Amino acid sequence: MVRTARRPPSGPAVSPSRRRRRAVLALLAAGAVLPAACGGAREAVTTTTMSSSTTTSVGVPAARPLAVEGPGRYDGEVVSGGLLRRFVLVVPESAPRPAPLVIVFHGFMGSPRDVEELSGMTSLAEQEAFVVVYPEGSGLPRSWRSDPRRGDLDVVFIRDLVTLLGRAVGIDPRRVYAAGMSNGGGMAARLACDASDLIAAVGTVAAAYPTGVCPPGRPVPVAAFHGTDDPIVPYQGWGLLLPAVEEWLGGWAGRNGCRAGPVAESVAVDVTRSAWGDCPASADVVLYAVEGGRHGWPGSGRDTGWGASTDSVDASVMLWEFFTAHPLP
């Protein structure tokens, strides 16, 4: 798992215009309420939520039936909350029945295929025998409503999606996990708050965490990766908009009732693991801080356009190890 570290080069001085651009991107990554500033297209539906089994809004096309006839890759649809929502489903030949499920959320302006390539979760799913689904955000540009002030449409979508996959594939209800990058990491974190009955554990990468009230129904295990030099979602936070990473994880450890930590140890030349322990229901909280890491996915070997993270650890492998140790109690 541990490979030779690759340190990103130092960047040039940042101009005021680029600072403003980064500030806007941070707002968007956080799922902030910015309909006018973003210039995003309005969705022609109300924010009233409804399950996929109810009558849809006028003008919303019916979803194509999902017929999973065996191992393979499926482009799926489901009507949820009055919207036609899309996803990419991968069912490996190795997956048992019922199977563990990992939901992987793309970042702001991203797509299911973007995060699939970045995370490498599809090949890992084949090796480790779990089903993986890559849901697609909504709006123009595509994003996730990680900010609770934007309503519950995405939370309802994920509940409807898991219900659909349970029928079509056969999913182990005790082993449903959520992971994501940037705005998608914020969405995974929101599910820990608002869907703790559904999601067994959460893994985040360079996440823009939601702020505000978080009322989980039970302690939820959380593992996070974040670069200390992330220019989009700063490690030290961004005023009232984005919490500092360590502060957010510490707050979650408090909600979980963890009585020990954080205890720090080096796991690679540029990665420090901080763990909060002695948590009720084994709801551990772990942070992997990548020294000098930028806005990327550790182990991907790719530069997202905002600098690379590190290749000295593999976030996907480590998240799966964390997930397997934390099924629903």
Phi-psi region of 42 (alpha: psi -120 to 50; beta: other; left: phi over 0): beta
pLDDT given at position 240: 85
Is residue 236 pLDDT above 60, yes or no? yes
Task: Check whether 57 has a pLDDT greater than 90.
Answer: no
Mean pLDDT of 153-157: 97
pTM: 0.85
Give the pLDDT of residue 28: 52
Give the integer Cα–Cα distance in Å for 184 and 146: 8
Mean pLDDT of the 304-309 span: 78
pLDDT higher at 277 or 10? 277
pLDDT tier for residue 215 given thresholds of 50, 70 and 90: confident
Mean pLDDT of 273-292: 96
273 vs 35, more confident: 273
Mean pLDDT of 150-155: 94
- Give 102-129 pLDDT, tens digit per residue: 999 999 999 999 999 999 999 999 999 9
pLDDT above 90 (res 8): no
Amino acid at 293: G
* pLDDT in the model for residue 42: 26
Instruction: Encode pLDDT of 261-281 as tens digits.
Output: 899 999 999 999 999 999 999
> What band does 58 get if pLDDT is binned at 50, 70 and 90?
low
CATH number of 71-324: 3.40.50.1820
Residue 25 pLDDT class (50, 70, 90 cuts): low
The rounded mean pLDDT for the chain is 85
| pLDDT reported for residue 304 | 74
Measured distance CA(329)–CA(42) in Å, rounded:
40
Q: How confident is the model at residue 30 (pLDDT cuts 50, 70, 90)?
A: low
Q: What is the pLDDT of residue 212?
A: 80
What is the pLDDT, as a whole number, of residue 301?
Answer: 85
